[in-house]
């Protein structure tokens, strides 16, 4: 029996791109459930979504529309609780899945029952869909030029960003077992990767299977600016990671992350957060 896959498409003011994102789900070579969630958009996203659903009455599409903005983490969890799918993809409404993303992911996860996340290579595109670069540099055959770490990735995730989060496919049972996304955080990927990789391996499929859109107004471009809550969330995640480390190598990896984030806090004049990162760093150094 084929594994069931649900793709949760989260939309907030993505009227320009949400139709393309949903279309990329319907274009998969492996049929999936599409759960599209609008988190109280103030543009024309809701109309775009409703019209798209009407135009595809035969497709397996479910929808959720929130009257108040509750944030990505809560919106995702609400959708997650509505499906009994075996595997889950979190698709931002401005990103695009290439046609074999689901089939490649299910093929990998079906034969690796201990794996929590399957991830892939990705292309970065601009607001017009034009190619910028690939996440991992590729050769003429489209294969990554570098060796991509898989298996136990916890230590590496602590110290650096190397997995393109929109490419991830989750094993739903593992994701639900840890309670889904942490709703107290402003963003989800760093935290969820750490929590899942602490107990389970990750697997890599060496193909470009997702297009990640880079926008000037995206969260990642503003994460260190004053008033943005992402850096505060990163501090919370580092504090959680402090309780998870189990070796001297992991301790050093966490310290590298803390030093990096402390520098960013200082550069962007987030001095209270800078002090908090320094205090956490000292606590980590003193841990036996």
Question: What span, in angstroms and rounded, lies between the C-alpha atoms of 58 and 54?
Answer: 9
Residue-level pLDDT at 216? 81
pLDDT of residue 228: 82
Q: Quote the pLDDT of residue 287.
A: 87
Domains along the sequence of the chain with CATH: 5-217 (3.90.550.10), 223-286 (no CATH)
Stated pTM of the model: 0.94
Res 108: pLDDT: 97
Residue 219 pLDDT > 60, yes or no? Answer: no
| Whole-number pLDDT of residue 220 | 52
pLDDT of residue 175: 98
pLDDT tens across 141-180, in order? 999 999 999 999 999 999 999 999 999 999 999 999 999 9
Residue 1, pLDDT > 70, answer no
The Cα 34–Cα 118 span in angstroms is 19
Residue 288's pLDDT is what?
Answer: 73
Distance CA(168)–CA(203), nearest Å, equals 10
Give the model confidence (pLDDT) of 88-127 as tens digits: 999 999 999 999 999 999 999 999 999 999 999 999 999 9
Least confident segment among 49-53, 163-167, 212-216, 237-241: 212-216
Give the separation between CA 60 and CA 190, rounded to whole angstroms.
Answer: 30
Write out pLDDT tens, residues 55-94. 999 999 999 999 999 999 999 999 999 999 999 999 999 9
Check residue 226 and give its pLDDT. Answer: 66
3-state secondary structure of 98: coil
Give the percent of the chain with pLDDT over 70: 95
In sequence order, what are the beta bridge partners of 9? 36, 91
pLDDT tens for residues 245-267? 999 999 999 999 999 999 999 99
Report the half-sphere exposure of 280 (CA within 13 A, side-chain side): 27
Residue (of 96, 89, 90) closest to 129 by Cα position: 96
Q: Which residue has the tokens 């294969």?
A: 143
Neighbours of 69 (CB within 10 A): 15
Tokens of 136: 């991992």
| Arithmetic mean of pLDDT, 3-28 | 97
CA dihedral 204, 187, 8, 209 (to 10 degrees): -30
């Amino acid at each position: 029996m084929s594994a069931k896959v649900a793709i949760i498409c989260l939309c907030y003011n993505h009227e320009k791109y949400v139709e393309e994102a949903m279309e990329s789900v319907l274009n998969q070579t492996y049929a999936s459930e599409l759960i599209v969630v609008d988190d109280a958009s103030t543009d024309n996203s809701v109309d775009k979504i409703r019209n798209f659903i009407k135009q595809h009455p035969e497709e397996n599409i479910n929808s959720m529309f929130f009257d108040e903005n509750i944030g990505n983490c809560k919106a995702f969890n609400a959708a997650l609780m509505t499906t009994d799918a075996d595997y889950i993809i979190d698709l931002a409404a401005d990103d695009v899945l290439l046609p074999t993303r689901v089939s490649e992911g299910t093929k990998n996860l079906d034969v690796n029952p201990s794996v929590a996340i399957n991830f892939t290579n990705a292309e970065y595109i601009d607001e017009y869909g034009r190619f910028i670069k690939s996440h991992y540099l590729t050769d003429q055959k489209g294969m990554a030029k570098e060796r991509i770490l898989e298996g136990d990735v916890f230590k590496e995730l602590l110290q650096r960003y190397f997995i393109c989060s929109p490419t991830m496919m989750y094993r739903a049972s593992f994701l639900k077992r840890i309670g889904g996304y942490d709703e107290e955080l402003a963003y989800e990927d760093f935290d969820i990767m750490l929590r899942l990789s602490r107990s389970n391996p990750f697997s890599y499929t060496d193909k470009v299977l997702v297009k990640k859109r880079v926008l000037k107004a995206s969260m990642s471009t503003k994460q260190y600016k004053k008033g943005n809550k992402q850096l505060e969330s990163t501090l919370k995640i580092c504090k959680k990671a402090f309780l998870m480390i189990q070796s001297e190598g992991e301790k050093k990896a966490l310290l590298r992350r803390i030093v990096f984030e402390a520098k960013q806090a200082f550069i962007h004049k987030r001095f209270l957060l800078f002090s908090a990162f320094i205090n956490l760093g000292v606590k980590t150094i003193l841990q036996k």
